[in-house]
């Protein structure tokens, strides 16, 4: 673990995640430091309260700047506020459906981002992507306003990431390099679970195929150069979709996930071998507590046993060789969730493929390379640039 401000592994990682988005204007380091200074180790209530207070303070700066006609200042503050509100909500997973503060923070993260998105040099377009009998929320980010069809990234997150976070994690770096980006929340992600009651599903092609259908109706999308990128658990979801959706030019698994069920099952068996079982493990381990609570909510189950069962189908076993187009698998040396899984998935791919490992000694060894956005984007987009130019 690359310790950042906390000994608690989860707190350290989430603080690093929030701070790392400073690369694309999602944080300012001083704001992160003074916020975390007031949050004791492992104190989830203080975490939520302090991040919420910082978010509100920065949002006010943005609102005042907007009212005074200072467009850039407003955009900068609202982008940071969005990331801070997301961070404030992160651990509020005991019963999010009944937690009014969790709902408020999530909405505030969405709204501040929506208001900032309109202030981008090329304003982002809010989307509703048709999906079954409803729609999925998304954004179309354009590299410029020329209307030129460009290589386009279709991006989604994972177990807890949000559509708004996708901008800092991926879209901002893609835009600088001349890619357009369609980012969206699938079932179980962001507002879909809270507002629409949609939960995760293993057959993610059922989510990506409608998103591809939609992308192909957008004039600024080059239909021959559509790239799917999935973040975190999205590294499984995107791989699964890529096995069945063949209209893509490439896929990036950020990072590679072979079998999500194995992670949940290992957590359950670890708890079973302890006195006091899962309750005791959750009481003493912030990360386990969060993983189980978030899983109950996003999968629509009531306990760890149901979560173990619900994740059984989340594996690439027997289908990895269905992927036919070039695929980039990323790996983090110190990944606390999916150690060894990128290698295993890479080994079963039969398409053109590359594995890029990010090391601890270059500051990029954490899950999803949090804190190393520039290095992650440099390697990923240089690979994509080269591939698409060929």
Question: Per DSSP, which regions of the chain are E strands?
Answer: 125-131, 134-141, 150-156, 180-184, 221-231, 250-254, 327-332, 353-358
26-60: burial string, b at 16+ Cβ within 10 Å, e else:
bbeeebbeebbeebeebbbeebbebbbebbeebbe
Q: Classify residue 390 by burial, with Cβ atoms within 10 Å: 0-12, 13-18, 19+.
A: exposed
- Please list, in sequence order, all residues whose beta carbon lies within 8 angstroms of the beta carbon of residue 273, skipping any fewer than 6 positions away: none
Which candidate in 82, 146, 232, 302 is catalytic? Answer: 232
Q: Classify residue 354 by burial, with Cβ atoms within 10 Å: 0-12, 13-18, 19+.
A: middle
Nearest Cα to 229, choosing from 132, 327, 342? 327
Q: Classify residue 388 by burial, with Cβ atoms within 10 Å: 0-12, 13-18, 19+.
A: middle
Contact present, 328 and 356 (Cβ < 8 Å)? yes
Q: Which two tokens stand for residue 66?
A: 């907007």
Distance CA 253, CA 232 (A): 8
Annotated active-site residue 109? The verdict is no
Active site residues per annotation: 232
């Amino acid at each position: 673990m690359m310790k950042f401000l906390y000994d608690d592994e989860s707190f350290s990682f989430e603080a690093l995640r929030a701070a790392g988005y400073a690369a694309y204007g999602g944080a300012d380091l001083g704001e992160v430091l003074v916020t975390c200074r007031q949050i004791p180790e492992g104190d989830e209530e203080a975490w939520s309260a302090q991040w919420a207070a910082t978010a509100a303070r920065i949002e006010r700066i943005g609102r005042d700047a907007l009212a005074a006609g200072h467009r850039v200042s407003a955009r900068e503050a609202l982008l940071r506020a969005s990331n801070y509100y997301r961070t404030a909500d992160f651990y509020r997973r005991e019963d999010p459906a009944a937690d009014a503060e969790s709902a408020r923070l999530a909405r505030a993260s969405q709204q501040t981002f929506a208001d900032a998105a309109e202030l981008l040099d090329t304003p982002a377009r809010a989307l509703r992507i048709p999906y079954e009998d409803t729609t999925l929320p998304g954004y179309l980010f354009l590299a410029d306003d020329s209307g030129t069809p460009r290589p386009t990234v279709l991006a989604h997150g994972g177990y807890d990431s949000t559509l708004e976070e996708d901008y800092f994690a991926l879209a901002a770096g893609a835009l600088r390099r001349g890619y357009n980006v369609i980012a969206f929340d699938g079932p179980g992600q962001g507002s879909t679970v809270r507002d629409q009651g949609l939960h995760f599903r293993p057959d993610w092609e059922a989510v990506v195929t409608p998103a591809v259908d939609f992308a192909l109706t957008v004039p600024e999308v080059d239909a021959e150069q559509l790239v799917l990128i999935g973040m975190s658990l999205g590294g499984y979801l995107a791989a699964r979709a890529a096995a069945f959706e063949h209209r893509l030019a490439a896929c990036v698994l950020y990072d590679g996930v072979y079998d999500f069920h194995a992670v949940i099952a290992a957590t359950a068996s670890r708890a079973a071998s302890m006195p006091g079982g899962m309750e005791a493990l959750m009481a003493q381990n912030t990360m386990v507590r969060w993983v189980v609570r978030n899983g109950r909510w996003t999968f629509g189950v009531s306990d760890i046993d149901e979560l173990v069962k619900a994740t059984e189908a989340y594996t690439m076993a027997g289908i990895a060789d269905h992927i036919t187009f070039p695929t980039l698998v990323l790996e983090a040396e110190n990944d606390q969730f999916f150690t060894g899984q990128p290698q295993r998935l890479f080994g079963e791919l039969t398409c053109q493929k590359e594995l890029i490992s990010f090391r601890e000694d270059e500051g990029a060894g954490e899950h999803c390379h949090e804190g190393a956005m520039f290095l992650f984007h440099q390697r990923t987009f240089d690979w994509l640039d080269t591939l698409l130019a060929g």
